[in-house]
Each structure stands twice: as structure tokens, then as C-alpha cells.
């Protein structure tokens, strides 16, 4: 189980990841773009989104910090662009945590299977904290 930081940027994630990697002398960042991800035929990806960063991860002094660009047209507020991620390999625990955090909060993505995870969901709790809940399979960094 872990709680990690996830930061969103407005089209400049690659620069941010490379900057933090250099500052903290980390491993070379692995960066995946939205264009590299499997595409859903009913929801074509806009051309301007294909080179944006979908996911990148750095280990900084033992802590996992993850990064992504926001999609074009989605709201972005500098300073409010950080979420906490909770990962576990216990599906029942993930469901419980998700349900408890969503009580009097707002679910933005129901807990569901994705191409990178058996269970993944997003919500904002009653205190305004943004969360990502993810099945941690040990190889994606999520």
C-alpha cells in the first residue's frame, strides 16, 4: 500500500519531468504519450493531444511522483494540479477506500478496469482533496 503524489500540467509535463529528474538526479524518466495508449474507436483522440504526456513517473528519495498533461479543453488551475494516489493489490480494500472517500464527495471516474489496471477510479473527497485509486500491479508505477 502506498500514497503517492500525482501532478498535472498544461502541456509542459515533459519539461517538468526532465527538470525534476535533473534536479533530484533520478533515473531517466519513462514517458508515455496519449498517442501511444490504446485508442477507443468510439472516442477518437484529438490530434493536438497525441504528443501530450499521459503518464510519467520518477522516484525521488524513495517517493513516487507521477505526472500527466491535462487534455486540451479540460480545466487546469495552477496550484490545484496535484492529486494523491492510493495503491494496493487488495481489490476489496481499494473498493472500501474508494467508497469511503467518495461519501459526501464527488466521483469523477467510477472504479473500473482500464488497460493499465484491474481497478482504477478518481474522486474528490468532501474536503476537496483529489484522489486516484489504483490496483498496484507493481510494474506501471501507478
CB atoms within 10 A of CB 89: 12
Q: In this predicted model, what pLDDT tens digit does every residue of 85-133 receive, in sequence order?
A: 888 899 999 999 999 999 999 999 999 999 999 999 999 988 788 899 9
Cα distance between residue 130 and residue 123, in whole Å: 6
**CB-based contact 102:86 (threshold 8 Å):** no
Give the pLDDT confidence score for residue 74 in this predicted structure. 85
Q: What is the pTM of this model?
A: 0.72
What's the pLDDT at 17? 95
pLDDT tier, 21 (very low <50, low <70, confident <90, very high otherwise): very high
Predicted pLDDT of residue 79: 72
Predicted confidence (pLDDT) at residue 142 exceeds the cutoff of 70: no
Q: Tell me: the pLDDT tens digits for 25-82?
A: 999 999 999 999 998 888 889 999 999 999 999 998 788 999 999 988 888 887 778 8
Q: Which of 14-18, 36-40, 89-93, 137-141 has the lowest mean pLDDT?
A: 137-141
Residue for cell digits 529528474? 21
Amino acid at each position: 500500500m502506498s500514497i503517492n503524489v500525482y501532478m498535472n500540467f498544461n502541456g509542459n509535463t515533459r519539461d517538468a519531468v526532465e527538470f525534476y529528474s535533473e534536479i533530484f538526479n533520478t533515473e531517466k524518466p519513462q514517458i508515455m504519450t496519449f498517442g501511444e495508449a490504446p485508442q477507443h474507436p468510439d472516442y477518437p483522440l484529438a490530434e493536438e493531444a497525441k504528443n501530450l504526456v499521459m503518464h510519467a513517473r520518477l522516484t525521488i528519495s524513495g517517493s513516487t511522483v507521477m505526472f500527466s498533461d491535462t487534455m486540451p479543453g479540460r480545466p487546469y488551475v495552477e496550484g490545484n494540479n496535484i492529486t494523491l494516489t492510493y495503491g494496493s493489490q487488495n481489490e476489496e480494500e481499494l473498493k472500501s477506500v474508494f467508497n469511503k472517500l467518495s461519501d459526501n464527495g464527488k466521483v469523477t471516474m467510477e472504479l473500473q478496469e482500464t488497460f493499465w489496471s484491474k481497478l482504477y477510479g478518481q474522486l474528490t473527497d468532501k474536503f476537496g482533496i483529489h484522489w486516484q485509486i489504483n490496483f498496484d500491479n507493481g510494474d506501471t508505477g501507478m
